[in-house]
Every structure is written in structure tokens, then in C-alpha cells.
Amino acid sequence: MRLADKVALITGAASGIGKETASLFAQEGAKIVAVDLNDSDGEKTVSEVNSAGGDAIYVNANVSKSSDCEHMVKAAEEKYGKLNVMFNNAGIMDSRDDNAQVTEEEVWDLTMAINLKGVFLGCKFGIPAMQKAGGGSIINTASFVGLMGAATPQVAYTASKGGVISLTRELAVIHARENIRVNALCPGPLRTELLMKFLDTEAKKQKRLVHIPMGRFGEAKEMAKAALFLASDESSYTTGTEFVVDGGITSAYVTPE
């Protein structure tokens, strides 16, 4: 198994990419620390992993709070003795997010607190645990919009994901000789609840789909498979990258007429 004897902490594990990744990582031998604020769905993720023969625990944490992030890493070490994989995946896409004139300051602050500060705090407490473990892999969920911009205005989200990419690069350089790899997973548009709530009209959906050469939204399971590569030793020479899994959208991105 590709993650045998590894301990993986996954934020945003109650749904979407996080849920699918928890299941896949467990199938590949990892012990799972599933983190979320949604206790009912987070516990459901853990229950499903354990029922399938895996080994997982649930931790309630708000990734924008330092004390919560410290607690989730300690929970991993206390339960499983180490931390090898940190998947900073939790994020939001506020339906009120729009262009700079329309987007309220509170929407900007909330988006930055979860999408960018949450990744920073995960790394802040996860890296010392990995140093003790002799190394590890950090995967930070960014987005293709952090590279290209978005056809449907969402300035806070786009800026937060651009920040994740820059943070990832810097941490990769700092910790490369400590056997700690840091990569940014950049999904294209996905058929997840998070995006579908934002693209809440058929017109908005088509405005995205017109740019995707494959002609469809991606699936959370496809992102989990990409995360598995980054978490495993198969990516041992991969760090500081924008790992783009987007159906070709960044290769064919054009401004809509």
C-alpha cells in the first residue's frame, strides 16, 4: 500500500475533496485524523473509514484559530505517535464574494482567515511534528484561479488561493533539506457542493464550462488521487509545485465575450 505506516491529517474532511481523500488514504494504509467544524459529517467520514477497515479519528477544529490547529496536530501525535502527511484542504467560497467594489470587507476577512491563514496555521504546527518524524509531505489546496484569475468574479477567493501558492513555494524552499515536501494542489472547477453553491445558476455554470477543454467539472475523487501521489513516496522529488489538475482549463483560458 502506498501510504502504509503513515499518519495523515486532513482538514475539511467532512465533505468533498477531504472526505474522498480520507477514504482513499485509508485504503492505501494511512491512519487518518479527519478535521472539520461539521461534527455530524466529520464523524460520518470517520465512521465510514473505520467500517471499511481503516483507522481514523475525528477532531473538531476551526483552522483559522491557532489553538485549534495546535490541538489537531497534538491529537494526531497523541493517538498515532507521529504526523507524516498534512493536507491543508479546508476552505470556503462565500456566495457574497464578487468584484472589488461589491465584496464586503467581512467576506474578504473571513475568506482569508480560513483559506490562507488556515493553511499557514496548519503548517505552523504541522511542520514541527514532521521534523520530529524525520520528514513528511504537506499538501495545500489552492486553485487554478490562483494562477489564472476567475471568469466569474470572486476576488477574495482568488486572492486567498494565490496566497496559498506563494506560501507553499516559500515553505518548500525553507524545509527542502529537512525531508519535508510542500506542494499546492490546484484543482480546476469541481462538481462539489462548495462550487455548485457559488455557481448557482446555469449561466454561471456554463461560463465556467466553456473554458474547460474536457467539457465537464472535475470530481472530488480525482483530486483525492492527485493528493495521494503528493502524499506518497512516489513524489519524493516533488516540492514547491503548483500541481494542476484542471481538465486543461489553464491551457485554454480565455476571457469570455
Question: pTM of the predicted model, to two decimals?
Answer: 0.95
- Local confidence pLDDT in tens for the 257 residues of the chain: 999 999 999 999 999 999 999 999 999 999 999 999 999 999 999 999 999 999 999 999 999 999 999 999 999 999 999 999 999 999 999 989 999 999 999 999 999 999 999 999 999 999 999 999 999 999 999 999 999 988 789 999 999 999 999 999 999 999 999 999 999 999 998 888 877 877 788 888 887 788 889 989 999 999 999 999 999 999 999 999 999 999 999 998 554 44
Residue 206: per-residue pLDDT: 83
Distance, CA of 30 to CA of 8 (rounded, Å):
6
Selection from 189, 177, 181, 170 nearest residue 244 by Cα: 189
Q: Is residue 71 part of a domain?
A: yes
Q: Is residue 100 part of a domain?
A: yes
Q: Is residue 54 part of a domain?
A: yes
Q: Is residue 208 part of a domain?
A: no
What CATH number corresponds to the domain at position 94?
3.40.50.720
CB of 39 closer than 8 Å to CB of 61: no
| Residue 188, all three cell numbers | 480546476
Residue 254: per-residue pLDDT: 56
Distance, CA of 16 to CA of 144 (rounded, Å):
17
Q: Identify the active-site residue in 80, 157, 237, 253.
A: 157
| Residue 39, all three cell numbers | 461534527
> How far is CA 47 from each of CA 11, 42, 214, 229, rounded to the nearest angstrom?
16, 9, 35, 24
Distance, CA of 127 to CA of 141 (rounded, Å):
17
pLDDT, tens digit, for every residue of 149-178? 887 899 999 999 999 999 999 999 999 999
Whether 157 is catalytic is: yes
Range of the domain at 48: 7-188+219-242
Residue 40: CB atoms within 10 Å: 8
Q: What is the DSSP secondary-structure string of the chain?
A: -TTTT-EEEEESTTSHHHHHHHHHHHHTT-EEEEEES-HHHHHHHHHHHHHTT-EEEEEE--TTSHHHHHHHHHHHHHHHS---EEEE------TT---TTTS-HHHHHHHHIIIIIHHHHHHHHHHHHHHHHT-EEEEEE--THHHH--SS--HHHHHHHHHHHHHHHHHHHHHGGGTEEEEEEEE--B-SHHHHHHS-SHHHHHHHHTT-TT-S-B-HHHHHHHHHHHHSGGGTT--S-EEEESTTGGGS-----
Q: Is residue 251 part of a domain?
A: no
Q: Is residue 195 part of a domain?
A: no
Overall number of domains in the chain: 1
pLDDT, tens digit, for every residue of 88-117? 999 999 989 999 999 999 999 999 999 999
Residue 134: per-residue pLDDT: 98
Q: Is residue 204 part of a domain?
A: no
Q: Is residue 257 part of a domain?
A: no
Residue 257: per-residue pLDDT: 46
